[in-house]
Structure 1
Amino acid sequence: MGDTLHATTIRIEGNDGDEIEAYLAQPDDVEGSRGGVVVIHHLPGYDRATKEIVRRFAELGYDAICPNLYWRLAPGAAPDDAAAFARAQGGVPDAQLVGDVAGAAAHLRRLATSNGKIGVIGYCSGGRQSVLAACNLELQAAVDCYGAFVTGTPPEGFPLKVTNLVDQLPNLRAPLLGLFGNEDKFPSPEHIDELAHLLDGHGKEYEFHRYADAGHAFFSTDRPSYRVEAAVDGWERITEFYAAKLGS
């Protein structure tokens, strides 16, 4: 863990061999091999807040990368505009997401500093996508920060073309850390109870933490939903989880 790092925008190979944009951050003062983290951005897109999260993982001693999931729709567009295009299309198709995360993980594993262990993390829509990736890829750890519709059903008129992941949970390949607010509606406490029940039934390794007086997006420091106590504790849980699973 250190204070010096370098971060840059790069191009990586995503789903179906497409070249997409990604943001990579690496620590400068960590010796030896280390784990990697793929950060899946939230629905508002590949924005400043997400890039700060990528840099934070580099500060924690990991190589970290965030693929721009909206690059095909709006290359070079401002995050808000790109997110609007994505919403109009119903969001990122699941197969495309899995391919883009696979490309990001492969990029991390090719780095000279890699120990071969990769974790994935996502917030909001990215939380669901983190679980999706962990059901389809060889990863060593997955973190779901209040991802909606891992269980449960999208309400009528919901703008994204998503289904729940109940049928994929038997294939979960990585230990899962879940961080949720008790005041959230999607996912609600009942959705989290259902997820825990299903994971127990499938014999999966997981660890859930729930926070009172916290709703959706409690990690978001730039929003009224931010809850400092929940966010601080959540970062501690993430740090401990990745240290145990990724070896950094």
Structure 2
Amino acid sequence: MGDALSAGTISLDAHGGDAIEAYLARPDGDERRGGVVFIHHMPGYDRASKEIVRRFAELGYDAIGPNLHYREAPGAAPDDAAAASRAAGGVPDDRLIGDVGAAAAYLRALPTSNGKVGVIGHCSGGRQTVLAACNLDVDAAVDCYGAFVTEDVPADFPVKMVPLKDQLPSLRCPLLGLFGNDDQHPSPDAVDELERLLQESGKTYDFHRYDDAGHAFFSVDRPSYRVAAANDGWERITDFFAANLGS
């Protein structure tokens, strides 16, 4: 596999006909391949998120990361846009589904597409990944420590959302879950509940839990980073998408 790729910002026709910013990365070459939609974390559409999009291109996928906070603060720095989004109550679920659906459609329309698209997200993006996989035609989903999939949201929490327990029977694809045993949101008990609900609905899933790892253990620029957990997690993501997206 070569590492030559192209990457840059595009305009994406998203939910409600809105044009939003998105970051697209593609390997060189015209071979058919799967696509990956990356859902950024609550801190926003930042450098770390774009690096992850490029990493999927290096792995051989057409990859895109929509800027979910674009409407609240067009052209703003990631921290400012994230703050504006929080002040507005966060990304509404229906808008998230529309934006991710538009990103998946964009990937499938590329001449290199093999028709398969996966979705992945961290933190709030993990919950939104599960939401997308319950409502959109995607082929694989990876939830990296998504909070409030099964837990109730604290009343004073700045972002307005609801648990997704009632949507889990509609999950449309295999789900890979990666969680830290020292995390509080989601807690180990919340992960247990998610696993139980998936089992009851007969869904295909694969969960991995890491000791000495809390929230954001993939984040190389944070004290929460855990090398062993992140490296093992990336290997599992790579294998999971290879098995389900055909690249």
TM-score relative to the length of structure 1:
0.99
Give, as a single letter, the amino acid of the residue that structure 2 aligns with 1:246.
L
Q: Deviations over 1:97-138 (max 9, x none)?
A: 000000000000000000000000000000000000000000
Partner SS, residue 58 of structure 1: helix
Instruction: Say yes or no: does 1:37 pair with 2:40.
Output: no
Give the equivalent residue in structure 1 for 2:5. Answer: 5
- Aligned partner of 1:202 in structure 2 is 201
Look up the match of 2:171. 172
Could you list the runs of 5+ residues in structure 2 that have no partner in the other structure? none
- Deviation for aligned residue 1:152: 0.9
Give the deviation of 1:16 after TM superposition. 1.3
* Amino acid aligned to 2:111: A
CA distance in 1, matches of 2:27, 2:21: 20
Letter matched to residue 45 of structure 2: Y
- Give the Cα–Cα distance (whole angstroms) in 2 for the partners of residues 27 and 37 of structure 1: 12
Is 1:222 the counterpart of 2:204? The answer is no
Matched to 1:11, the amino acid is S
1:182 Cα deviation from its structure 2 partner: 0.1
Q: Say which SS state the counterpart of residue 199 (structure 1) adopts.
A: helix
Shift of 1:17: 1.3
Q: Which whole-Å CA distance do the structure 2 matches of 1:156 and 1:58 have between them?
A: 39
1:17 maps onto 2:17 in alignment? yes
- Aligned 1:139-158 pairs, distance under 5 A: 139-158=138-157
* Identity between Structure 1 and Structure 2 (%): 71
Deviations 1:135-166 (A, max 9, x none): 00000000000000111111231111011000
TM superposition shift of 1:195: 0.3
Amino acid at match of 1:6: S
Give the SS at the match of 1:168.
Answer: helix
| 1:92 and 2:94 correspond | no
How many angstroms apart in 2 are the aligned matches of 1:72 and 1:33?
A: 33
> What is the CA distance between 1:24 and its match in structure 2?
0.1
Give 1:90 deviation, angstroms: 1.0
Q: Matches of 1:92 and 1:119 in 2, distance apart?
A: 20
What is the distance in 2 between the residues matched to 1:81 and 1:2?
36
Aligned AA (1:172) = L
TM-score, normalised with respect to structure 2: 0.99
Following the alignment from structure 2 to structure 1, what is the Cα–Cα distance between the partners of residues 98 and 190?
Answer: 27
CA distance in 2, matches of 1:65, 1:90: 24
Please name the residue that 1:126 is paired with: 125
CA displacement at 1:203 relative to structure 2: 0.3
1:214-247 CA distances to partner (integer Å, 9 max, x unpaired)?
Answer: 0000000000000000000000000000000000
Offset, 1:27 = 0.5
Output the CA distance in 2 between the equivalents of 1:142 and 1:33. Answer: 20
Runs of 4+ in 1 over 3 A off after TM superposition: none
Shift in Å, 1:39: 0.2
Equivalence for 2:79: 80
Secondary structure, counterpart of 1:26 in structure 2: strand
Q: Which amino acid aligns with 1:196?
A: E
Alignment: residue pair count: 247
SS at match of 2:130: helix
Aligned-partner Cα distance in 2 for 1:164–1:2? 41
CA distance in 2, matches of 1:14, 1:114: 19
TM-superposed deviation, 1:2: 2.3
Correspondence 1:245 to 2:244: yes
Report the Cα distance in structure 2 between the residues aligned to 1:109 and 1:156, rounded to whole angstroms.
39
Question: 1:109 aligns to what?
Answer: 108
1:185 corresponds to which letter in structure 2?
Answer: Q
Larger mean Cα displacement after TM superposition, 10-19 or 43-52: 10-19
